[in-house]
A = this chain, B = another copy of it.
Amino acid sequence: MKKFISLAAAMLLATGAFAQQSLFGGAQLVSPEVNPDNTVTFRFQAPKAVKVEVTGDFLPTVPFEVPNFGTFDMPGKAELKEGANGVWEYTTPEPVASEMYNYNFIVDGLAVKDPSNAYVQRDIANLMNYFIVPGERTENYVVKDVPHGTVSRVWYHSDVLGKDRRCAVYTPAGYETSGKRYPVLYLLHGMGGDEEAWLCTGRAAQILDNLIAAGKAKPMIVVMTNGNTLHKAAPGESEEGNFKPYNCGSFDTSFEAHFKDVISFVDTRYRTIKAASGRAIAGLSMGGLHSFTTSLNYPKTFDYVGLFSAAVGVESQNTEGQIAPEFYQNFDAKIDRLFKNNPKLYYIAIGKTDFLYKSNAELRAKLDQKGYKYTYLETEGGHIWRNWRIYLEDFAQKIFK
């Protein structure tokens, strides 16, 4: 067996694992470590550093004022203390609530990923380490020993945009063998995201796996499109944006205009329920606007609509250069038309300190005034993924029932 182990060591050497440790002086630290009392310890080896800090959304936030928009919650910082062998350490003074968190180290002013933690999330072009504190809140975010759906990256053609585009598709466990037809949730990301966002930071596959296994959500297909129509795909996944900073944003109604191509593709490729009763559309922030406008402009298409911190309130913003400007016009009449069809669920969720709180309150007032029923969830905090995971978990349990 000895020669075996040596062979193994040599292969590890050769693949660079040893090389990195040897070159970079990294030891096998555990960081972050969630302790039995749910305090969290961060460790970082930096013998020459003068100051090592950790910043992340597990720490109390620091308010950041932006004129005309209000106050944003920025992640706070905490200082690590140097111990033996140049290993710096910080343990939270209090237990950390069950949640999924992002963090980075700051070493003498320099943002540094945690070399002991291979788990990173990408938001636009920024990478952040993440960790999960187990507990009630994250029960559906962690991978459990339940039947897992299939997650695919799939290309479809859009005649409206004149190009192929990439989306992510979740098919529930059993889809391939059941022969049944399934309902479809179209799940849209926000301005900084792409077709990977809900899978990565949103934990959509884990949430759906766990809810479906527990019988809390109906087995469903989830289609995650790319909301930035300037692009075909997430950075690096198409010939356009290889290794370049990502160009964000899509408020020109081209996303809504091309959505008929998405539905047509999904209804052809997958065994779907091809009716409003088998379709939900939901999204966060810009994706909330897209869900709002898409559901208004494709009447009788979706029986379930979810607005998560939605960027509503853009009706008056139409200008030149739009592929289909009518998509952002006559919202009042379109709302009447939508509710004439008695949608089974119209769902609005937002955080108390979200900068979009006011525009969502205006939308609610309008619905109230017209006597249209909707489900409303208000949570703590602002315009953050923490809330969007909560909204997905909640919304997924309310649709297709």
Contact = CB atoms under 8 A, between A and B. Distances in A.
Given A24-B104, A64-B19, A239-B143, A11 B192 contact: yes
A15 interface: yes
A107 interface: yes
Given A22-B74, A26-B111, A118-B125, A10 B69 contact: yes
A257 to B, nearest CB: 17
Interface stretch (A214-222, A240-248, A366-374): A240-248
Interface string A310-328: 0100101101000000000
A126 B117 CA distance: 8
Copies of this protein in the complex: 2
Interface in A273-308: 285-286
Given A8-B249, A251-B8, A1 B317 contact: yes
Nearest to A241: B143
B46 A110 contact: yes
A383 B14 contact: yes
A352 interface: no
A144 interface: yes
B66 A19 contact: no
Which of A7, A55, A64, A125 lies at the interface centre, i.e. has the most chain B CB atoms within 10 A of its CB? Answer: A7
A365 interface: no
A236 interface: yes
Interface in A8-30: 8, 10-17, 19-20, 22-26, 28
A276 to B, nearest CB: 25
A113 interface: yes
Interface in A99-156: 102, 104, 106-113, 115, 117-120, 122-128, 131-132, 142-145, 147-148, 150-155
A362 interface: no
B16 A123 contact: yes
Nearest to A144: B239
Given A144-B239, A269-B176, A317-B4, A14 B72 contact: yes
